[in-house]
């Protein structure tokens, strides 16, 4: 579904990504793990077309020209982005945030399905986005992408700062998304959570993918990886 080959990126003269290669198969959840500053968010921004200073090839469903298109055309091709700051429109209500994005995929979630999955959003549907808690904003950011029918979800730290109950809810939602055939590239620092939802894990260090691990390898090496990540 999604391929990244030889991805390099810079901030000014500082190179932050070096020949990053990764693939995500259709219906798969793959994580990017690494220390803060390793370049994880930059990978997502490059895939989404939001980082101008990058080179390499990004393909979607075999379309190798995908990575040459502007961000709005990548979104129209069915790629949804949930940034780490959630990107909620502060002056719009919850329901307006959900209804604003255009439909870009063949199987968009209806507003009814969103409210059945996220009942708190129905309760808060007339609230402004900034009146929601952090967990509620995260649910809104995910629901907004699902409303668009995106086939690929780029998700940056969805569990950061959330209570254990909300983390479990986010995990259940990601598994439901996966069961529906949506492909997910996920940045996640919580290794235990990552192994409950993802199929594979790319370890990013100093701007490079240095290892690709399955869940068994992550569990066997959890203490080593936690020490490496500084958690």
Mark 142-168 as b/e (b = at least 16 C-beta within 10 Å).
bbbbbbbbbbbbbbbbbbeebeeebbe
**In angstroms, rounded to a whole number, what is the distance separating the alpha carbons of residues 139 and 117?**
10
Q: Quickly count: other Cβ atoms within 10 Å of residue 58's Cβ.
A: 25
pLDDT, residue 89, reads: 87
Mean of per-residue pLDDT scores for the chain: 89
pLDDT, residue 231, reads: 54
| pTM of the shown model | 0.90
**In angstroms, rounded to a whole number, what is the distance separating the alpha carbons of residues 77 and 152?**
9
**113-122 long-range CB contacts below 8 Å, 24 or more apart?**
114/143, 114/146, 114/147, 117/143, 117/173, 117/176, 118/143, 121/94
Q: Which domains does the chain show, CATH number per domain?
A: 2-229 (3.40.50.300)
On the CB side of 112, CA atoms within 13 Å amount to 0
**pLDDT below 50 — which residues of the chain?**
none
Q: Quickly count: other Cβ atoms within 10 Å of residue 72's Cβ.
A: 9
pLDDT, residue 81, reads: 93
Q: Are 165 and 91 in contact (CB under 8 A)?
A: no
Q: What angle do CA 75, 77, 78 make, to 5 degrees?
A: 70
Tokens of 62: 């075999």
**In angstroms, rounded to a whole number, what is the distance separating the alpha carbons of residues 35 and 85?**
18
Q: Are 30 and 47 in contact (CB under 8 A)?
A: no
Q: What is the DSSP letter of 190?
A: -
**In angstroms, rounded to a whole number, what is the distance separating the alpha carbons of residues 149 and 116?**
17
């Amino acid at each position: 579904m999604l391929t990244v080959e030889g991805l390099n990126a810079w901030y000014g003269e500082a190179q932050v990504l070096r020949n990053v290669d990764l693939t995500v198969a259709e219906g798969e959840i793959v994580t990017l793990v690494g220390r803060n500053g390793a370049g994880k968010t930059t990978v997502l921004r490059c895939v989404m077309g939001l980082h101008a200073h990058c080179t390499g090839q990004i393909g979607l469903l075999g379309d190798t020209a995908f990575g040459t298109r502007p961000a709005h055309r990548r979104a129209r091709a069915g790629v949804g982005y949930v940034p780490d700051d959630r990107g909620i429109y502060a002056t719009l209500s919850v329901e307006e945030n959900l209804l604003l994005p255009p439909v870009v995929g063949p199987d968009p979630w209806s507003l009814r399905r969103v409210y059945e999955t996220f009942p708190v959003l129905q309760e808060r549907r007339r609230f402004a986005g900034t009146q929601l808690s952090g967990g509620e904003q995260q649910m809104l950011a995910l629901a907004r992408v699902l409303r668009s029918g995106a086939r690929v979800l780029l998700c940056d730290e969805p569990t950061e700062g959330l209570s254990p109950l909300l983390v479990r809810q986010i995990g259940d939602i990601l598994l439901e998304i996966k069961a529906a055939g949506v492909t997910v590239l996920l940045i996640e620092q919580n290794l235990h959570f990552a192994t409950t939802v993802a199929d594979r894990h790319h370890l990013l260090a100093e701007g490079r993918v240095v290892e690709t691990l399955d869940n068994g390898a992550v569990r066997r090496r959890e203490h080593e990886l936690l020490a490496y990540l500084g958690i």
